[in-house]
């Protein structure tokens, strides 16, 4: 405990606390700005003392602290005394200063009052001085105005008499200046119109103007009238020029009437010469109209070019009136003789008119077009374009009809060339030449139509372009796509195969192989020749060129056509047509290569995989696939060298089609010898032929049996994977890295095929370990695929059910839901697959070959087709059975049994 706290007495230590407001406290802090704890507003003496004497030992210097405190107190007292003494004199000084300020204000107010009174006296003096000056100034202005008015009046009075005398003498050169002055003066006196003398003078001026207008008009008519032969009152060119100047000063109707009469006079010959009843007025002689006005203008400017003022623009006015008359006359003639107009005549007239209008635009500035009353002219203000040509706009459908006929004939010509189409011999043939011809014709029509009109006729031309783009695609491109012809199906080859099978039972494997070879050859899907594939690529490249050019055509049409039709220009449907042709060509190429590989896959199902005794090189069906790829793909690649993206698309579509078929073919195989189940329709045949195979299968189900067939399939699958990865560059000297998307599809698809084979190689016992391995190798599988793999392993039906139940329990819940959704879609496929069945113990010899033969022979006699299909099925089943059992059947008795069985199954 501190000493101060122990000895403190609340009664003795009580101090009256002074509380200051926050504003006062802040003011004190700003003035003092002290860091001493004693100056702080929250000073606590107890804390301060405890800080000075924290313990008993610190009391040793208490005397020093007290002495310092007393010194500080004495200093504070001195300061307080000096401040108090200073405040005594402060009040007195303030009162003195206030009194002095009041005296200064009083003196200032008196000075301001004195200055104001002096200013008022000064202002009165200035007004007194300038009063006479203002009166003199006003008198001066009035006198000046009176003199000016009298002068104008004198001019008006004297000018009227002078004008009468000069106008009677037709001295228009001397009339001009006084007339301008009198007209201005007369306007000045309009404010005094209530004065009778002014009214009289104004009336005289109006009368003089009217007389001058009539006189000048008559003089013009006398001068230019062709019937006037008297030279007595005829003016000279100089007087005529002065008269034009006077007419410019007179009212506007005077000048307008003179020009109207004069222009009509100038075109009088033209109207009579090119009357609608005259032969020269027809469109084939339209250039003579323009030649006449050119010649007439040259004559006019040579004779009277200096007579008329420049601002009258007489030549331009004559030309504008000529255009208006010509437009009206041509409209009447064309409407009356419409049936006589053909497109050549119409284009001739429009071209000559357009050239003439362009010449007028270069010759004149178009200022007088503002006065035109025709709406069409007002829209083209300042330009002579369409001033005459607008009369042809209602008849431009003649042009579009002509283009329609020309395009129809052109497409028909291209279609007739269809039969003589020969693909160029070079590797990259380019495009069909008539395709470029079509678009050149389109460009010519578009440029020609722009010269005629960019409104409704241009839109009609767009509709024609759209129609014939579709017709070109259908009649020329699609009609040129080769179509494979189905082979002629006969029963002779099947009969020969049957005889071969029944005659040569001494060598069963040779006979069965020959039968299968003949059957496969007979059931081949029709293929395209190399020339056909080049044609398809030729058409694909042409369709690609059309697609790109149609887009450019659409952009150019939108740029040229009037803005009100821009939204209607849409060639998307036509682009879709060419997209469809490209897609069809790619699909045909894919289907052709796919069909070639299907024969190899069918051969794959005829191999007895379960009886393979050793793993060697890749199988024959792989060699066939590689051969087909090397024969087909380079031809397509070379002919699509300029369409690389579509070649890549072809490769994509092929692998997307081939790999699923290869996997489905794997599902049809029985590559292990783990037993014979009743899933195959030929199980009874196998059981009767070799009872030992059944016992072997019963034991093989647990041991895994012979998996050499699986190993061979794995080797073949890896070989196919390698070939497919190199598909875009196969057979090429230049090796390119395939696109990443293509590589991804091949790797994913063929990896699944490899996983299927690896799963088949696994023993099914113990079941939990097999399912565990299955889920690791095929995590995205489902119940249907699991069931197919069990069929590949020839697992018995009872065991299949048990394994499927165990598989369902091992699958995650969400995967089960996916499988339940997918199972109904696959059940129908599985049912149809089991209905067709397999006829051999190997399980690969399904009846797909029979159905394929039946499809290729459709369209002929139905009874004959059924017999051929039945025979083919019997041959397929018998051949596969012989291949499966050929190694185990060694005695004549068993051969006889098989022969009898085959004869019973074959049709009569």
Q: Which range is least confidently modeled, 13-17, 211-215, 562-566, 824-828?
A: 824-828
Q: What residue spans of 337-396 are helical by DSSP H?
A: 343-363, 375-379
Whole-angstrom Cα distance, residue 185 to residue 202? 10
Q: Are 433 and 539 in contact (CB under 8 A)?
A: no
Q: 153: pLDDT confidence band, cut at 50, 70 and 90?
A: low
Q: How confident is the model at residue 832 (pLDDT cuts 50, 70, 90)?
A: very low
pLDDT at 664 over 70: yes
Residues found in the chain: 908
Check residues 661 and 699 and name the one with the higher pLDDT.
Answer: 661
> Over 60: is that where the pLDDT of 822 sits?
no
Mean pLDDT for 568-588 is 93
Please answer whether residues 212 and 170 qualify as being in contact, where contact means their C-beta atoms are separated by less than 8 angstroms.
no
Instruction: Quote the strand ranges of 415-490, DSSP E.
Output: none
Tell me what pLDDT residue 845 has: 35
Q: What are phi and psi of 8, to 5 degrees?
A: -75, 140
Tens-place pLDDT, residues 401-428: 888 999 999 999 888 876 666 777 666 6
Among all chains, which residue has been given the structure tokens 């025709």?
374
User: Do 36 and 78 touch, CB atoms closer than 8 A?
Assistant: no
Contact 55, 34 (CB under 8 A): no
The answer to whether 596 and 628 are in contact (CB under 8 A) is yes
Q: Taking residues 833-854, what's their average pLDDT?
A: 34
Residue pointed to by tokens 């393979």: 612
More confident residue, 563 or 309: 563
Closest CA to 877 of 908, 896, 904: 904
**What pLDDT is attached to residue 63?**
84
Looking at the DSSP bridge assignments, the partners of residue 846 are 838
Query: Who has greater pLDDT, 801 or 251?
Result: 801
Q: Which of 877, 858, 880, 878 is nearest to 868 (CA)?
A: 858
Decide if pLDDT at 568 tops 80. Answer: yes
Structure tokens at 47: 């804390």
| Residue 524 banded pLDDT, cuts 50, 70, 90 | low
Render pLDDT for 305-359 as a digit per residue (tens, 0 to 9): 777 877 788 888 888 888 888 888 888 888 888 888 888 888 888 888 888 888 8
**Residue 856: both structure tokens together:** 């290729």
Whether this prediction's pTM lies above 0.75 is answered by no
More confident: 599 or 233: 599
What percentage of the chain exceeds 90 in pLDDT?
15
- pLDDT for 310 equals 78
pLDDT at res. 58 = 80
Q: pLDDT tier at 187 (50, 70, 90 boundaries)?
A: low
Give me the pLDDT at residue 375, please.
47
Specify the CATH architecture of the domain 388-484+527-581.
Orthogonal Bundle (1.10)
pLDDT band at residue 705 using 50, 70 and 90 as cut-offs = low
CA triple 335-340-343, angle to 5 deg: 95
User: Chain-wide mean pLDDT for the chain?
Assistant: 74
Q: Where are the domains of the chain?
A: 388-484+527-581
Q: Is the pLDDT of residue 17 over 50?
A: yes
- Split at pLDDT 50, 70, 90, the class of 494 is very low
pLDDT recorded at residue 678: 34
CA distance 714 to 720: 10
Quote the CA–CA distance of 240 and 173 in Å, as a whole number.
10
| pLDDT tens digits along 88-139 | 777 777 788 888 899 999 999 999 999 999 999 898 888 888 877 877 878 8
The full DSSP string for 752-801 is: HHHHHHHHHHS---SHHHHHHHHHHH-TT--HHHHHHHHHHTT--HHHHH
| Phi/psi at 838 (5° precision) | -115, 145
pLDDT higher than threshold 50 for residue 456: yes
| 809 Cβ contact partners less than 8 Å away, ≥ 6 residues apart | none
Residues facing residue 838 across a β-bridge: 846
Instruction: Tell me whether residue 250 is exposed, middle or buried, using C-beta atoms within 10 angstroms of its C-beta: 0 to 12, 13 to 18, 19 or more.
Output: middle
- Per the CB < 8 A criterion, the answer to whether 583 and 547 are in contact is no
* Cα 687 from chain centroid (whole Å): 69
How far the first Cα of the chain sits from its last, in Å, is: 132
Residue pair 808/783 in contact (Cβ under 8 Å)? The answer is yes
Digit-coded pLDDT (tens) for 759-772: 888 888 888 888 88
Tell me whether the omega of the peptide bond preceding residue 781 falls within 30 degrees of 0, making it cis: no
Give residue-wise pLDDT tens across range 255-308: 788 888 888 888 888 888 888 888 888 888 888 888 998 888 888 888 887 778
Rounded CA separation 109/107 (Å): 6
CB contact burial 647-677 (16+ within 10 A = b; e otherwise): bbbbbbbbbebbbeebbebbbbbbbbbbbbb
Per-residue b or e along 570-591, where b marks 16 or more CB atoms closer than 10 Å to that residue's CB: ebeebbebbeebbebbbebbbb
pLDDT at residue 317 in the model: 86
Token representation of residue 347: 């284009």
Residue 520 reports pLDDT greater than 90:
no
pLDDT of residue 471: 92
Q: Where are the alpha helices (DSSP H) in 225-342?
A: 237-249, 252-266, 268-273, 286-304, 314-336
Asked if 647 contacts 636 with a C-beta cutoff of 8 angstroms, the reply is: yes
Contacts of 793 (CB under 8 A, 6+ apart): 672, 674, 760, 764
Answer yes or no: is pLDDT of 32 > 90. Answer: no
CB-based burial label for 788 (10 Å; 0-12, 13-18, 19+):
buried
- Split at pLDDT 50, 70, 90, the class of 480 is confident
Spatial contact of 80 and 30, defined as CB atoms under 8 Å apart: no
The 8-class DSSP code of residue 838 comes to B
pLDDT digits (tens, 9 = 90+) for 504-516: 433 433 444 444 4
Task: Enumerate residues 6+ apart whose C-beta is below 8 A from 480.
Answer: 418, 421, 432, 535, 539
Mean pLDDT of all residues in 802-822: 67
| pLDDT value at residue 812 | 63
Q: Are 868 and 857 in contact (CB under 8 A)?
A: yes
User: Tokens 């819940």 correspond to what residue?
Assistant: 813
For 596, the token pair is 């070639």
> Which residues lie below 8 Å from residue 902, measured CB to CB, with a gap of 6+?
501, 502, 874, 878
H or E segment and range at residue 901: helix 892-905
């Amino acid at each position: 405990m501190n000493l101060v706290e122990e000895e403190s007495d609340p009664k003795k230590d009580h101090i009256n606390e002074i509380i200051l407001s926050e504003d006062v406290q802040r003011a004190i802090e700003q003035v003092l700005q002290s860091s001493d704890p004693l100056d702080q507003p929250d000073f606590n003496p107890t804390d301060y003392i405890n800080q000075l004497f924290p313990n008993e030992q610190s009391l040793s210097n208490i005397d020093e602290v007290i002495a310092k405190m007393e010194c500080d107190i004495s200093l504070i007292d001195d300061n307080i005394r000096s401040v108090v003494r200073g405040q005594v004199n402060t009040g007195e000084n303030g009162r003195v200063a206030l009194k002095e300020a009041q005296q200064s204000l009083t003196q200032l107010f008196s000075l301001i009052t004195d200055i104001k009174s002096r200013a008022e006296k000064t202002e009165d003096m200035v007004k007194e001085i300038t009063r006479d000056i203002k009166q003199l100034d006003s008198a001066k202005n009035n006198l000046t105005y009176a003199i000016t008015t009298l002068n104008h009046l004198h001019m008006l009075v004297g000018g009227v008499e002078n004008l009468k005398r000069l106008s009677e003498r037709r001295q228009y050169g001397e009339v001009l200046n006084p007339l301008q002055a009198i007209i201005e003066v007369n306007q000045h006196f309009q404010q005094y119109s209530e004065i009778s003398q002014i009214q009289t003078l104004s009336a005289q001026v109006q009368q003089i103007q009217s007389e001058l207008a009539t006189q000048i008009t008559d003089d013009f008519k006398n001068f230019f009238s062709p019937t006037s032969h008297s030279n007595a009152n005829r003016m000279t060119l100089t007087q005529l020029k002065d008269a034009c100047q006077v007419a410019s000063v007179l009212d506007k109707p005077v000048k307008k009437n003179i020009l109207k009469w004069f222009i009509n006079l100038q075109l009088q010959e033209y109207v009579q010469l090119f009357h609608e009843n005259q032969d020269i007025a027809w469109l084939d002689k339209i250039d003579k109209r323009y030649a006449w006005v050119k010649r007439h203008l040259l004559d006019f400017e040579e004779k009277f070019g200096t007579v008329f003022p420049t601002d009258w623009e007489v030549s331009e006015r004559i030309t504008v009136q000529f255009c208006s008359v010509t437009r009206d006359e041509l409209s009447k003639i064309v409407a009356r003789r419409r049936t006589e107009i053909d497109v050549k005549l119409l284009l001739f007239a429009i071209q000559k008119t357009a050239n003439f209008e362009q010449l007028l635009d270069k010759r004149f500035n178009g200022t007088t077009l503002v006065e035109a009353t025709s709406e069409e002219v007002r829209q083209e203000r300042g330009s002579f374009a369409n001033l005459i040509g607008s009369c042809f706009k209602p008849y431009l459908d003649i042009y579009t009809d002509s283009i329609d006929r020309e395009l129809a004939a052109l497409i028909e010509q291209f279609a007739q060339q269809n039969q003589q189409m020969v693909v160029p011999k070079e590797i990259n043939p380019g495009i069909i030449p008539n395709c470029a011809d079509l678009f050149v014709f389109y460009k010519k029509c578009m440029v020609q139509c722009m010269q005629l009109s960019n409104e409704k006729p241009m839109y009609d031309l767009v509709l024609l372009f759209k129609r014939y783009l579709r017709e070109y695609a259908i009649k020329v491109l699609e009609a040129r796509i080769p179509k494979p012809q189905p082979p002629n199906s006969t029963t002779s080859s099947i009969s020969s195969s049957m005889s071969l099978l029944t005659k040569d039972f001494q060598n069963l494997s040779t006979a069965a192989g020959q039968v299968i070879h003949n059957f496969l050859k007979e059931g081949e899907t029709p293929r395209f020749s190399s020339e056909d594939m080049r044609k398809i690529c030729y058409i694909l490249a042409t369709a690609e060129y059309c697609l790109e050019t149609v887009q450019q055509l659409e952009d150019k049409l939108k740029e040229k056509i009037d803005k009100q039709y821009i939204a209607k220009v849409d060639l998307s449907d036509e682009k879709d047509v060419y997209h469809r042709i490209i897609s069809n060509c790619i699909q045909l190429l894919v289907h052709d290569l796919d069909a070639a590989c299907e024969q190899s896959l069918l051969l794959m199902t005829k191999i007895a995989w379960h009886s393979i005794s050793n793993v060697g090189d890749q199988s024959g069906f792989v060699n066939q696939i590689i051969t087909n790829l090397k024969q087909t793909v380079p031809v397509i690649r070379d002919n699509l060298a300029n369409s690389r993206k579509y070649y890549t698309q072809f490769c994509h579509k092929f692998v997307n089609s081939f790999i699923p078929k290869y996997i489905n073919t794997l599902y049809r195989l029985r590559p292990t010898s783990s037993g014979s189940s009743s899933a195959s329709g030929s199980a009874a045949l196998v059981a009767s032929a070799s009872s030992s195979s059944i016992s072997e299968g019963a034991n093989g189900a647990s041991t895994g049996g012979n998996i050499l067939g699986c190993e061979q399939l794995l080797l073949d699958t890896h070989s196919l994977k390698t070939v497919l990865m190199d598909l875009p560059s196969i057979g090429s000297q230049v090796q390119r890295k395939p696109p990443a998307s293509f590589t991804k599809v091949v790797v994913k698809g063929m990896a699944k095929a490899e996983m299927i084979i690896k799963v088949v190689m696994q023993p099914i016992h113990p079941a939990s370990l097999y399912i565990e391995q299955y889920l690791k190798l095929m995590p995205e599988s489902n119940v249907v695929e699991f069931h197919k793999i069990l069929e590949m392993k020839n697992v018995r039906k009872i065991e299949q059910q048990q394994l499927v139940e165990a598989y369902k329990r091992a699958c995650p819940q969400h995967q089960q839901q996916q499988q339940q959704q997918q199972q109904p879609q696959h059940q129908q496929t599985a049912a149809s697959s089991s209905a067709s069945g397999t006829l051999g113990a190997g399980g690969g010899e399904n009846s797909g070959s029979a159905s394929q033969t039946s499809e290729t022979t459709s369209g002929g006699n139905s009874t004959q087709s059924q017999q051929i299909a039945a025979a083919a099925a019997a041959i397929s089943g018998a051949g596969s059975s012989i291949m499966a059992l050929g190694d185990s059947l060694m005695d004549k008795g068993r051969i006889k049994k098989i022969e009898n069985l085959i004869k019973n199954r074959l049709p009569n």
